[in-house]
Structure 1
Amino acid sequence: MASSLDGLVFAPVADQAPGQVGRRTRFEYHERDGRVRAEYSGGDVVTGYLVGTRTADTLDFRYVQLRADGTTASGHCVSLVTELPDGRLRLKETWTWESQEGSGTSAVEQLRA
C-alpha cells in the first residue's frame, strides 16, 4: 500500500474541459483511518470538496464544486494510488458526473515539496 495522502498537495497532469479541474487546480488531501477528504480550488473551480474512503490503494469518493461561472457540479470518482519512480504519488482517476452528463479518466500527481 502506498503512503498516506494526509497533508499532500496534488495537481492535474493535464487540463480538462472548461468548467472542470485543470493544471492550475490544487487538491489538499487529508487521510485518517481509511477516510479521505480534500479541498480544491484553482482555474475554473472556485472551491471544491471531496469525501470518501480508502481501501488499500483504492480511493472511492464523491465530489462537489463551485465553478467561476457560478454553477455547481457533483460526481463520483474511483482512484488508484500509485507511486512514481521519484517517490511522489499519482492518483489515476475514473470519474462520472452525477449532476450532468459525462465521464472520463484523469490523473493528478503529488507536487514536489
Structure 2
Amino acid sequence: MLPSLDGLVFAPTARAEHGEVGTATSFAYREEDGRVWASYRGGAIVHGHLVGTRTGDTLDFRYVHLNHDGDTSSGHCVSTLSRLTDGRLRLDESWRWESRPGAGTSTVEEVLPSAH
C-alpha cells in the first residue's frame, strides 16, 4: 500500500470534459484510519469538500462544491492511487455527478511544496 495522503496537496493535470475542476484547483487531503477528506478550491470552484474511505490504494468518496456562478454540485468518485516515476503520488479518478447528468475521468497529481 502506498503512503498516507494526510497533509498532501494534489492538482488536476487537465480539466475533464463535463467537469468543473481544472488545473487551477488545489486539493488539500487528510487521512486517518481509512477515512479520507479534503477541501478544494481554485479556478471555477469557490469551496469544495470531499469525504470517504480508503481501502488499500483505492479511494471511494462523495464530493460537493460551490462554483463562481453560485451553483452547487455533488457526485461520487472512485480513485486509484499510484506512484509516478519522480516519486510523487497520482490519483486516477472515475466520477459521476449525482446532482446533474454527466460522468468522466480525471487525474490529479501531488504538488510538492515550493523550495525556498
Pairwise mapping of residues 1-113 of structure 1 onto structure 2 (< 5 A)?
1-17=1-17, 20-113=20-113
TM-score normalised by L of structure 1: 0.97
Aligned-partner Cα distance in 2 for 1:92–1:41? 19
Which sections of structure 1, spanning at least 5 residues, go unmatched? none
TM-score normalised by L of structure 2: 0.94
The amino acid across from 2:98 in the alignment is E
Further displaced range: 66-75 or 13-22: 13-22
CA shift at 1:56, angstroms? 0.2
CA shift at 1:19, angstroms? 6.6
Runs of 4+ in 1 over 4 A off after TM superposition: none
Aligned-partner Cα distance in 2 for 1:11–1:93? 12
SS in 2 for 1:4: coil
Aligned-partner Cα distance in 2 for 1:83–1:17? 25
Identity, % of aligned pairs? 62
Aligned-partner Cα distance in 2 for 1:17–1:31? 28
SS in 2 for 1:21: coil
**Count of residue correspondences:** 113
RMSD of aligned Cα (Å): 1.1
CA shift at 1:29, angstroms? 0.1
Aligned-partner Cα distance in 1 for 2:66–2:19? 9
